[in-house]
Structure 1
Amino acid sequence: MNITTGKRKRAQKCIVYGVEGIGKTTFASHFPSPVFIDTEGSTDHLDVARTDKPTSWQMLISFVKEFATMPGFYRTLVIDTIDWAEQLCVEYICAKHNKSGIEDFGYGNGYVFVREEMGRFLNLLDEVINAGMNVVLTAHAQIRKFEQPDELGAYDRFELKLGKKTGSQTSPLIKEWADMVLFANYKNEIITTQTNKKKATNGKRLMYATHNPAWDAKNRHGLPDMMPFEYSQISHVIPDDVLPTAAAQELAQAANNEYAPEVMNATKKQIGEVTTTQPVTSPQEAVDTNKNETPLIETAIPKPLKDLMVKDGITLEQVQSVVIARGKYPAGTPFENYDPEFVNGWIIPFWPNIVEAIKKGN
């Protein structure tokens, strides 16, 4: 047993949610050396580092895994927003179980699958924390009717815009995971005009760091109940020099040893992207190289799958080899003849398994 005492310095898990247009993305951009996974395209007006927009849950997972194995370059990972990411998760669960919607599972089973998948996602974000990077999840707010068991009557309150149905268990799980849940809103003031009419005016932008009957919020740093919605108010509790844990360093070294020798290049016919004939040393270099070439060639490959193939340096021929090896389609079947439900319900959901099978030679 290794018993330690005293405070331990580590990267922080922060949730920032609020009403539309209050500046959640701008607020997150002030965290130390941030990089954004922009799920809804809201960072175009900011000069920040960002990944490509994830078009599938598996693509989002692969982005997070890469940041967990490359500590030191960025200090903060921002997922903007987590409620849009949840929609990717729901689409993944439905496709995996061949359902048209989350309600089709019956008896709330669909929400259980989403909660379990989101729990695995949070565990993956913990690996990012161990790599020394802060994690910020931005989210929209929604107003929901709430009724306490020991009180008479119900009242409205602000909550994370996660799981619009009462059976959803995503929001409580994410709030428990976070070190800070900050709620941002405008301070509305009611004034009386000369004609004795009530009028609401928008005041300052404020954020709340402690629980209130009207909103969810918490923190583990003794922050004030109410503060101006400015990053400077919390900067003293956000570390920018946390070193990766020993386990994270070993994971990063293992990833470097695994991928460094590989030459990842795709051909025009196999992936629908025009590539150069010069070899590259990483999937990201292949993506950057392709952007400078001639326009894309239209193929039958759906964009979510094409994005995954480009990112991981996987060719269509390799994907088809796994499909054939698993007995899903006979050899010689053109990709155009693959059932779209098979592509969306088997290839994309089980993409990590396909990549692993390709590396092991099927």
Structure 2
Amino acid sequence: MSILNNIKRGKQQRPQRVIIYGPEGVGKSTLAAGLPAPLFLDTEEGTQHMNVDRIQVDHYGAMLDALQDIYKEARNGSLPYKTLVIDTGDRLWDMCACQVIKDYNASPKDGKISSIESIGYGKGYAQASEMFVNLLSVFDNCRNAGLHIAVICHCRVETVNPPEGEAYTMYTIKINAPAKQAITAKEKLKEWGDAILFCNYVTTFTDGGKAKGGELRAVYTEHRATWEAKNRHGMPAVMAMDAGEISRLLFAADSDSSGSAPANDAHPANDEQAPPPAASAGDRQADALAAVIEDVPGALAFLAYKKEIRPGQDLKAVSEKFASFILSAPDRFNAAVLQHNTPAAQ
């Protein structure tokens, strides 16, 4: 039989691997709680205030045991969940390092140790890295059994020194490991993910340079110099923290099962209140832009002058690309609007 008989055509629907990261308190867990039928593997008791189904896992062995049972139930078709949420991925390295120390102390050759560094020649770190990558493979087993996988991480700010230009800082995924091992683990995690979503507060600045805002939060889905992100689903570059809309774009057929309010809403995800009517993509974009634009009428005049919109159109008509620019650099945009609309500029 010719191998050409095995060609598959068109898009292949499959469970997704999603990394959700951002600063403390921005609403990452609340966003994940609105994904289709989630089950949390809580590694640091971060979901105690939330109405979600969870399994508490505080060490490597407990994580493997939980994943094995979840895999069996999913394969049998008896698991009532569609998304497995690891909250947080930061702790995975800690679990691996502690397990290396535990394994070493189970049969010590030179006495018991309390630090992974006590295992000479970097062997301890190498073992922990191997365990970390192994966990990603075990996550994939659950994915192959039909579960979406979402890994929640905190973020850290790192300095990047590109060979072709000046150094700059950017938000990156946080891994609780020494620098060299953290880079390796983070790169493995980034390669593993089908989508990397960066969640952050939208902040603007006054003329005096004072920060304001912080109530509006956004999800960034495309890589920029100031953050890591990616998606393979044609998602808008900037989105509201709306679990229903994100589920629709990421998970397609499963999107109707989430039934959650946006993370920007006052009510926590998975509460017993009916979700508000879903806003259109244009409405959500207009709300996000209006929150950071200081002079909306002046901005509309400026956008029409720049031919980004036609005269008489509103903020919903702004292209996703230009809206992404405004949200990522609102102070620059507001300054340009002010300069354009002052009498000296006419």
Q: Same fold (TM over 0.5)?
A: yes
Matches within 5 A, 1:1-362: 2-51=6-55, 53-71=56-74, 72=77, 73-98=80-105, 99-151=113-165, 153-168=166-181, 169-192=184-207, 197-203=208-214, 204-236=216-248, 237-239=250-252
Partners in 2 of 1:228 and 1:217 — Cα distance? 15
- C-alpha distance in 2 between matches for 1:156 and 1:150: 15
Tell me if the contact between 2:36 and 2:254 (Cα under 8 Å) persists in the aligned partners. Answer: no
* Length-normalised TM-score, structure 1: 0.62
Shift of residue 145 of structure 1?
1.4
Per the TM alignment, residue 163 of structure 1 is displaced from its structure 2 partner at its CA by 4.1
Asked if the contact 1:146–1:156 (Cα under 8 Å) also holds between the matched residues in 2, the reply is: yes
**Structure 1 residue 114, shift from structure 2 partner:** 2.1
State the one-letter code of the partner of 1:186.
Y
Contact in 1 for aligned 2:35/2:244 (Cα 8 Å): no
For the 8 Å contact 1:142–1:158, the answer to whether it is kept is: yes
Report Cα offsets for 1:238-268 as digits up to 9, x if no partner: 14559xxxxxxxxxxxxxxxxxxxxxxxxxx
Compared CA separation, residues 235 and 55, structure 1 to 2 (3 A): closer
Change over 3 Å in CA distance of 1:164–1:115 after alignment to 2: closer
One-letter code of the match for 1:202? G
Residue equivalent to 2:315 = none
User: Is this contact kept in 1: 2:190–2:196, CA < 8 A?
Assistant: yes
C-alpha spacing 1:19/1:187, structure 2 compared with 1 (3 Å) = same
1:108–1:167 Cα contact (<8 Å) kept: no
Letter paired with 2:174 = K
2:20–2:197 Cα contact (<8 Å) kept? yes
Q: Secondary structure at the match of 2:46?
A: coil
Query: How far does the alpha carbon of each residue in 1:115-155 deviate from its partner, in whole angstroms, 9 at most, with x for none?
Result: 2111111111111111111111001011111111332x322
Q: Indicate conservation of the 8 Å contact 1:10/1:239, yes or no.
A: no
Aligned-pair CA distance for 1:106: 4.9
| Secondary structure, counterpart of 2:90 in structure 1 | helix
The residue matched to 1:215 in structure 2 has which SS?
coil
Query: Do 1:159 and 1:216's aligned partners in 2 also have CA atoms closer than 8 Å?
Result: yes
Alignment check: 8 A CA contact 2:91 2:176 kept: no
Give the deviation of 1:164 after TM superposition.
4.2
Query: What one-letter code is carried by the residue in structure 2 that aligns with 1:226?
Result: V
Matched residue SS, 1:221 = coil
SS of corresponding position for 2:172: strand
Q: Which has the higher helix share?
A: 2
Aligned length, in residue pairs: 236
Amino acid at match of 1:9: Q
CA distance in 2, matches of 1:160, 1:81: 11
Q: For residue 95 of structure 1, report the CA deviation from its aligned partner.
A: 2.3
User: TM-score, normalising length from structure 2?
Assistant: 0.64
Q: What is the identity, as a one-letter code, of the residue corresponding to 1:60?
A: M
> Which residue identity does 2:228 align to in structure 1?
D
Separation in 2, partners of 1:134, 1:239: 12
Residue 60 of structure 1 and its aligned partner are, at CA, apart by: 0.7
CA separation of 1:126 and 1:222: change in aligned 2, threshold 3 A = same
Aligned-CA RMSD value: 1.9
Question: Residue 20 of structure 2: SS of its match in structure 1?
Answer: strand
CA distance in 2, matches of 1:48, 1:185: 23
Quick one: distance in 1 between partners of 2:195 and 2:86? Answer: 15
Partner SS, residue 130 of structure 2: helix
3-state DSSP of counterpart to 1:95: helix
Q: Equivalents in 1 of 2:122, 2:226: separation in Å?
A: 27
Shift of 1:85: 2.6
**C-alpha distance 49-3 of structure 1, shift in aligned 2 (>3 A):** same
Q: Secondary structure at the match of 1:118?
A: helix
Confirm or deny: 8 A CA contact 2:92 2:132 kept in the other structure.
no
Q: Is the 8 A contact 2:40 2:54 kept in 1?
A: yes
